[in-house]
């Protein structure tokens, strides 16, 4: 029900995102994995029609067969919050510090004409209960600073879900939270997804978190898709050198004494990335062809865009 086709984003001629395509069905979750500069956050903003000025998007973003990129601002406004909900990384900055929680949750409902104010507040209370906030009746009148980080994130989820959107975009929703809280929030998101049948786009840099949340994963680097497929298959037997590099760089499950294998170098600025495969330059298997030509799609148990996919030597 969300179908992204050949999404390209450019900033003054420099490609920020190259030819991204994916689809998410109702009730499904797709994990978008990438480090800084991968373009993952830009993709989310493009879907919402919230790209910063200067950025141009092309391609098609189909939400239930309606192309979001072709819509004007007014139509997009009616979609944001209503059919697409979004939650961000930093709950404190996403919540207005001078308004009470109840008001903020009720806002989308009233804005989109779903309910009148009084009814919206009652709905807000039930939403608070649903997301696991204790004493929801009292909390309606609290201000954001009176809540902990985890609670604020729950409030954000309540806000995003209030109009029962078809699509939920979660951009690093747990990165700023403690591990135990993160665990609860991830469970909450999963429960809500199953109950409401929402499609979820889960963006993170953390492979372990994605593994927990998403059935399918797409790995981005330097604005281009590297590999995609069933999450477990991807993590067990990655075929793309970048995915392999990411996994090798993690200390999880590694015994002491063995060295981590970082990916050498660092992410170059967008304008210096190779024409062909952006990972060229840091890739152990890259050659001149990779730099010049766009890598082809190769399909096995995962789909990888690479001239040299395959097992680690």
Q: Which residues bind other proteins (CB under 8 A)?
A: 35-36, 149, 178-183, 186, 205-209, 211-212, 231-232, 235-236, 245-247, 249-254, 256, 259-264, 266-267
Strands 29-33, 167-171: pairing kind: unpaired
Least distance CB 257 / other proteins (angstroms) = 10
Q: In angstroms, what is the minimal distance from the CB of 207 to other proteins? A: 6
Q: Write down the least CB distance from residue 251 to other proteins, Å.
A: 4
> What are the residues facing 56 on neighbouring strands?
10
Kindly tell me which of 58 and 93 has the beta carbon lying closer to other proteins: 93
3-state SS assignment for residue 10: strand
Minimum distance, C-beta of residue 284 to other proteins, in the bound complex (Å): 13
Q: Closer CB to other proteins, residue 12 or residue 259?
A: 259
User: Is 227 in contact with 55 (CB distance < 8 Å)?
Assistant: no
Instruction: Take residue 236 and report the two structure tokens written for it.
Output: 């067990």
DSSP state of 296: P
Q: Which of residues 136 and 241 has its CB atom nearest to other proteins in the complex?
A: 241
Q: Kindly calculate the radius of gyration of the chain based on its CA atoms and give it in whole angstroms.
A: 20
Pairing label, strands 199-204, 29-33? parallel
Task: Tell me the closest approach of the beta carbon of residue 308 to other proteins, in angstroms.
Answer: 19
Residue 6: Cβ within 10 Å count: 11
Of 65 and 180, which has the nearer Cβ to other proteins? Answer: 180
Strand partners of residue 221: 224
Least Cβ distance, residue 260 to other proteins (angstroms): 4
The Cβ of residue 206 has, within 10 Å, a number of other Cβ atoms equal to 15
Q: How far is the CB of 266 from other proteins (least distance, A)?
A: 5
Nearest partner of 176 among 90, 92, 97, judged by Cα: 90
State how beta strands 224-230 and 2-11 pair: unpaired
Q: Which is nearer to other proteins, 119 or 146 (CB)?
A: 146
Nearer to other proteins, 6 or 215 (CB): 215
Nearer to other proteins, 162 or 182 (CB): 182
Q: How far is the CB of 113 from other proteins (least distance, A)?
A: 39
Q: Which is nearer to other proteins, 52 or 113 (CB)?
A: 52
Q: Write out the two tokens for 228.
A: 């995609």
H helical segments located in 53-116: 73-79, 91-94, 101-111
Backbone angles phi, psi at 138, to 5 degrees: -75, -40
Q: Residue-wise over 160-196: b if at least 16 C-beta within 10 A, else e?
A: bbbbebbbbbbbbbbebbeeebbebbbebbeebbeee
CA angle 235, 238, 244 (to 5 degrees): 95
């Amino acid at each position: 029900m969300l179908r992204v086709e050949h999404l390209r984003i450019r900033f003054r001629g420099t490609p920020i995102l190259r030819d991204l395509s994916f689809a998410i069905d109702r009730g499904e979750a797709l994990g978008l994995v990438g480090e800084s500069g991968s373009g993952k956050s830009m993709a989310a903003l493009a879907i919402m029609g919230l790209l910063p000025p200067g950025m141009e998007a092309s391609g098609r973003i189909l939400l239930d067969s309606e192309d979001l990129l072709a819509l004007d601002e007014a139509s997009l406004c009616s979609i944001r919050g209503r059919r697409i909900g979004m939650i961000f990384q930093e709950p404190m900055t996403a919540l207005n510090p001078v308004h009470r929680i109840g008001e903020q949750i009720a806002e989308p409902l009233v804005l989109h004409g779903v309910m009148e104010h009084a009814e919206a507040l009652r709905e807000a209370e039930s939403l608070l209960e649903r997301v696991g906030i204790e004493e929801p009746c009292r909390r309606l009148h609290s201000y954001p600073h009176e809540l902990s980080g985890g609670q604020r994130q729950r409030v954000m989820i309540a806000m995003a879900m209030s109009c029962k959107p078809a699509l939920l975009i979660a951009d690093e929703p747990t990165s700023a939270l403690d591990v135990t809280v993160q665990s609860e929030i991830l469970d909450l998101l999963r429960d809500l997804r199953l109950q409401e049948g929402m499609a979820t786009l889960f963006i993170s840099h953390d492979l372990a978190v994605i593994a927990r949340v998403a059935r399918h994963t797409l790995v981005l680097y330097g604005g281009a898709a590297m590999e995609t497929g069933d999450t477990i298959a991807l993590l067990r037997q990655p075929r793309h050198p970048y995915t392999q590099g990411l996994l090798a760089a993690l200390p999880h499950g590694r015994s002491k004494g063995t060295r981590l294998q970082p990916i050498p170098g660092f992410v170059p600025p967008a304008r210096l990335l190779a024409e062909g495969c952006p990972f060229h330059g840091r890739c152990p298997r890259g050659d001149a062809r990779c730099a010049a030509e766009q890598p082809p799609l190769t399909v096995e148990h995962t789909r990888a865009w690479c001239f040299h996919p395959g097992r680690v030597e």
